[in-house]
Amino acid sequence: MTTEVSIKPALAEDVADIARLHRAVWCDTYRDLAPAEVYRVLDEDFRRARWADILANPHGDQRVLLAKQGERLVGIGATAAPSEPAFGARGEIKSLYVDPSVKRQGLGRRLMRAMMEELASMGYSGAALGVVTGNEPAIAFYRALGGRLIGQYTDPGPIWRSDNLIFAWDDLSLPI
């Protein structure tokens, strides 16, 4: 990378930048997968309110990490307790969004490693995540990081009932 990227915990003051990047990357990623109505509902204001709720509870189970290149937000990662029974006792990787301008430079891998460390600090020995069926770049990325396909589920929404594949890592100490 041309400019050093730092990874740090998100703060409430980061909400607007998080919402903006989340919306932009999400729209790019799911442009051919999500129904049109979802784009109208999951706008930047919706995302800002959701992230503000998450960051307003710093002692909640969700932890958010940001990757910044200088002052510019280029990545978001979030971890939490498992939300799906199929994840078992593994901690959950809730979100991983990387600005397309810095993709394929190792940032996603660095954020995944940092999230694995967060999950270990939360007492988990493994991690799992759901990835929307058809999101082939993400599926290839998780496989390249040693993720093992262990099942599938349908996200209950409330806005988009997406079909998801579950990838898992059973040893958080393994290099990613």
What global pTM score does this model have?
0.89
For residue 62, what are the CA distances in angstroms to 58, 72, 136, 167?
Answer: 8, 23, 26, 19
100 close to 61: Cβ distance less than 8 angstroms = no
Q: Which residue has the higher pLDDT, 161 or 176?
A: 161
Is pLDDT above 90 for 96?
Answer: yes
For residue 171, what are the CA distances in angstroms to 68, 93, 127, 147, 158?
Answer: 27, 14, 8, 10, 32
Q: Is 36 helix (H, G, I), strand (E, B) or coil?
A: helix
Distance CA 87, CA 146 (A): 16
Mean pLDDT, residues 104-124: 93
Output the pLDDT for position 57. Answer: 82
Output the pLDDT for position 59. Answer: 65
Is pLDDT above 90 for 91?
Answer: yes
Domains of the chain: 5-169 (3.40.630.30)
52 close to 127: Cβ distance less than 8 angstroms = no
How are beta strands 127-132 and 163-169 bridged, if at all? antiparallel
